[in-house]
Structure 1
Amino acid sequence: MSWFFRMEKVLVPYWLVTLCKIIILALFGSVTFSIAVILKGFFFDLDKTIDSTMWFVLYIIVWYIVSALIFFFIRNKWLMTLLFFIVAGLFIMFVDLSNWAFYALGFPIGVLWRNYERTWSGLYDKLPASLYFILFILLAIANTSVIKSFSLGMPTTLLAAIFVLCFVNKFFQQQAWLEWIGKISFELYLIEGFWLYTTKSLYVGHSSFLNLLLYLGLLLVSYLLYLGGERLLQYGPILL
């Protein structure tokens, strides 16, 4: 899958969701529906007036561009992996955006795993799923009660995420429902914060059954957005 197509897979759902958010906010009088507002939203809503949780979209696009450049010029796996970690270090040191710094190591670790998957898989297969779960719980406890600094919280949070992914992959291997969640995960991310924020008056202090319905609605809308984005992409490149 080319980096250009990857960007489309990110931007098309993002634009669809952003347009829907603008319409909803305009109906409630929070923003003025205009071309300027739409363009601002489409170009990553940098002042976060539409949805502050969407900072991650620009972050993904930047990493895709960086990845395309590194993959184009570098063939050596070791050097390629090192460059990803160097870029992550630059994000941590020089980008004045706390979220970017906190998640900076995610992409490089993914590249590290992909480039040396056979090396890691031998160790991964030998360890039981229960061990990954225990390690995740211990790190989660440490992050919430012991670790107070950003510099320690960043790597331990990422490590905890890796442990829980290892546990899920081993314990629920090849589960159709997990594959389905993974398929709609980006669309789920795009609307989760906005959905929960705008419906909080419904689920705060109400029954668990109503909460369940709201979360099921979140999954349903995410799936419909996924289908809509896939249908648009079937017509060919949109960004050209």
Structure 2
Amino acid sequence: KAAILGAKEVGIAVTAGTFTSVVVFLPNIVNESFIAPYMYYIGMPIIISLIASLLISLTVIPLLTSKFKPRSKQIKRTIIDKLSDKYSVFLAWFIARRWVSTISIVLLFLSIGVPIALGLNIDMFPNNPERELELRYNLNGSYTLDRVKETVDKVEDYLYANQDKFEIESVYTYYQPEFANSTIILIDEEDAKKSVEFIKEEIEKDLPLVTIGEPAFEFRSRNNSESIRVYVQGESMDVLTELA
């Protein structure tokens, strides 16, 4: 009987809490954007798990708890129980004094509304240029790793030879037969004396010429013309392979 009464007592609250979480992930399975196939496989498992958890909490758990006999001896009170008692006392005191609760709510809204009314402009996401550059080698073909490494070493030697001038902290390069890219990490903004754009111009000014590509901070196609990239997305990889 206690298990049944307990399930009824918290049933509405647990159900409401579960469905508020379900609503959050529901748009992931009904949207029609290009990322819909990916979002569907994220949202659907979560929704199924939440609903299954709700059913178990309202059926299986009360059934299992009904099989346990209550302990005869007094259970020691925990710190959570003590905090719960203090919260109950405070809540009863707060509700009994309506003027206190009213003033508290008004002050809460004022603390939010006053800064907005005063027009305080706080940029939560400042648009500061990152102290990081991506140097693309724009290789004009497929070469052996040794040949690509020679080109990478030539450019890296140039960068490290002017490390202080370009305010470089470190350089990381990834390369393969048809691709090479160097990530240039600059020193922190506090210690920097030059802007990122100015450093980029300085690097490009005397950048070594290479025979297998054209190092630059932007992508350049092999035939020096604009490139077109086509992305095909769908749920079936077999169908996409046939289309490609």
Coarse TM-score class (shorter-chain normalised): under 0.3
Return the index of the structure with the highest Cα Rg.
Answer: 2
Q: Which structure's relative contact order is higher, taking Cα pairs within 8 Å and 6+ residues apart?
A: 1
What's the TM-score, normalizing by structure 1? 0.24
What's the TM-score, normalizing by structure 2? 0.24
